[in-house]
Chain A
């Protein structure tokens, strides 16, 4: 079974620029999560999708972050405009219906200069 795929793996941008991350969850997994992990901290949930509907986005900075999950499969997370404090690893995870286990992708490491 293929794992959660994310791209790009690394991204360096200037502040005020835009950036987008892509996630392909494990096939058949209805729930998809985006986390932000700042260096030295645990992952923080940004947004959770159930199929293509949003379940929780209470910690998503909606003035600059947006996310979508088209057709309930792949998802993109966008930051526009980026700030220095957005430098972090952005992790995507997915979960099947019959399990409580979240499977994480390798993450995208974002550096904002």
Chain B
């Protein structure tokens, strides 16, 4: 079993729709939970970051973490064609010397159709 599971999609929705992206995880040691967005032929860029259960909102994006169920979600409201990208969930594991290691999900490829 992978430490982080993410449905690879692809997911295709019309412009303006609400998008829900999800990941599950198995390792209780994960401390921080992140969502990265990756456009084609680009490196991932951090979209949302949270470390506790509950919701965190940033503009059209909401990140939700449920540690008891080991489940995280990203919601995109009023989706735009520019949101078309691959969305990667990532979770951090503590290492020695205060360092952190990121474990990524497989990524969900999202297309927003005009």
Contact = CB atoms under 8 A, between A and B. Distances in A.
B21 interface: no
Interface residues of B, number: 26
A56 B44 contact: no
Given A42-B104, A55-B97, A106 B44 contact: no
Instruction: Report, as a range, how many residues of chain A touch the other chain.
Output: 20 to 34
Contacts of B32: 100
Interface of A: 4, 31, 33, 40-45, 48, 50, 55-56, 91, 93, 100-107, 109
Given A42-B4, A42-B6, A104-B45, 17 more contacts: A40-B106, A40-B107, A42-B88, A44-B104, A45-B102, A48-B99, A100-B32, A100-B49, A100-B92, A100-B100, A102-B46, A102-B102, A103-B46, A104-B43, A104-B44, A106-B41, A109-B41
Interface of B: 4, 6, 8, 32, 41-46, 49, 88, 90, 92, 95-97, 99-107
